[in-house]
A and B are shown apart, each in its own frame.
Chain A
Amino acid sequence: MIVHNDFPEDLESLPEYLSTWITPNDAFFVRQHLPRPRTSAETHKVEVGGLAANKLSLSIADLRKLPQVSVPAVLECAGNGRSYFRPKMPGLQWTKGAIGNAEWRGPRLADILAKARASTKAQFADFDGLDVGVGKTPDFIRSIPMRKLQHPSTILALDMNGVPLPDLHGGPVRLVVPGWDGASWVKWVSRIELADKMHTGFYMNPAYRYPKNPVAPGSAAKPEDLDVLEGMAVKSFFARPADQTKVQLGTPVTLTGPAWAGEHNVARVDVSTDGGATWKTASLSAQGREFSWRIWKSEWRPAKPGYYTLCCRATDTAGRTQPIEPAWNPSGYLWNAVDRVGVLVEG
Chain B
Amino acid sequence: MRRLIVLAAAVASASSLLGAADAALIERGKAEEKRCVGCHSLTIIGSQRLSKTGWERELDKMVRWGSDIKDREALMAYLVATYGDGKPMPKPTLSADASASK
Q: Which A residues fall within an 8 A CB radius of B?
A: 1-8, 10-11, 14, 83, 87-90, 92-93, 95, 133-138
CB <8 Å contact, A87 and B40: no
- Cα separation A8 to B44 with both chains bound (whole Å): 10
Q: Which of A2, A7, A135, A137 contacts B94 (CB 8 A)?
A: A2
CB <8 Å contact, A93 and B41: no
- Cα separation A3 to B54 with both chains bound (whole Å): 23
Q: Is B81 an interface residue (CB 8 A)?
A: no
User: A90 to chain B: closest CB distance in Å?
Assistant: 5
CB <8 Å contact, B40 and A135: no
B58 cross-chain contacts in A, Cβ below 8 A: 90
A138 cross-chain contacts in B, Cβ below 8 A: 65
A137 cross-chain contacts in B, Cβ below 8 A: 39, 65-66
CB <8 Å contact, B44 and A136: no
CB <8 Å contact, B89 and A1: no
Given contacts A1-B94, A2-B93, A2-B98, contact A93 B65 (CB under 8 A): no
- Cα separation A136 to B94 with both chains bound (whole Å): 31
- Cα separation A6 to B43 with both chains bound (whole Å): 7
Chosen A-B contacts, 10 in total, with CB atoms closer than 8 Å, are A4-B93, A11-B95, A83-B89, A87-B85, A88-B48, A88-B85, A90-B54, A92-B47, A137-B39, A137-B65
CB <8 Å contact, A1 and B85: no
User: B86 to chain A: closest CB distance in Å?
Assistant: 11
Q: Which of A3, A90, A92 contacts B50 (CB 8 A)?
A: A90
CB <8 Å contact, A5 and B89: no
B50 cross-chain contacts in A, Cβ below 8 A: 88, 90
User: A137 to chain B: closest CB distance in Å?
Assistant: 5
Between A and B, how many residue pairs show CB distances below 8 Å? 65
Given contacts A133-B65, A134-B66, contact A4 B47 (CB under 8 A): yes
Q: Which of B43, B64, B65, B98 neighbours the largest number of chain A CB atoms within 10 Å of its CB?
A: B98
B47 cross-chain contacts in A, Cβ below 8 A: 4, 92-93
CB <8 Å contact, A92 and B44: yes
Interface size on B, residues (CB 8 A): 26
Closest to A133 in B: B65
Given contacts A14-B98, A90-B58, A135-B65, contact A5 B49 (CB under 8 A): no
B54 cross-chain contacts in A, Cβ below 8 A: 89-90
Q: Is B67 an interface residue (CB 8 A)?
A: yes
CB <8 Å contact, B85 and A5: no
B window 48-88: CB within 8 A of A: 48-50, 54, 57-58, 64-67, 85
CB <8 Å contact, B39 and A135: yes
- Cα separation A201 to B43 with both chains bound (whole Å): 27
CB <8 Å contact, B44 and A5: yes
Closest to B54 in A: A90
- Cα separation A302 to B97 with both chains bound (whole Å): 33
Closest to A218 in B: B51
User: B40 to chain A: closest CB distance in Å?
Assistant: 6
Closest to B67 in A: A135
Closest to B45 in A: A5
CB <8 Å contact, B49 and A1: no
User: B36 to chain A: closest CB distance in Å?
Assistant: 11
- Cα separation A3 to B39 with both chains bound (whole Å): 16
Closest to A10 in B: B44
Closest to A91 in B: B48
B97 cross-chain contacts in A, Cβ below 8 A: 1
User: B57 to chain A: closest CB distance in Å?
Assistant: 8
CB <8 Å contact, A5 and B43: yes
A7 cross-chain contacts in B, Cβ below 8 A: 37, 40-41
A135 cross-chain contacts in B, Cβ below 8 A: 38-39, 65-67
CB <8 Å contact, A1 and B65: no
Given contacts A8-B40, A137-B65, contact A93 B48 (CB under 8 A): yes
Closest to A135 in B: B66
List 11 additional A-B contacts (Cβ < 8 Å) besides A1-B95, A133-B65: A2-B94, A4-B44, A7-B41, A8-B40, A10-B44, A11-B95, A90-B50, A90-B54, A92-B44, A134-B39, A136-B65
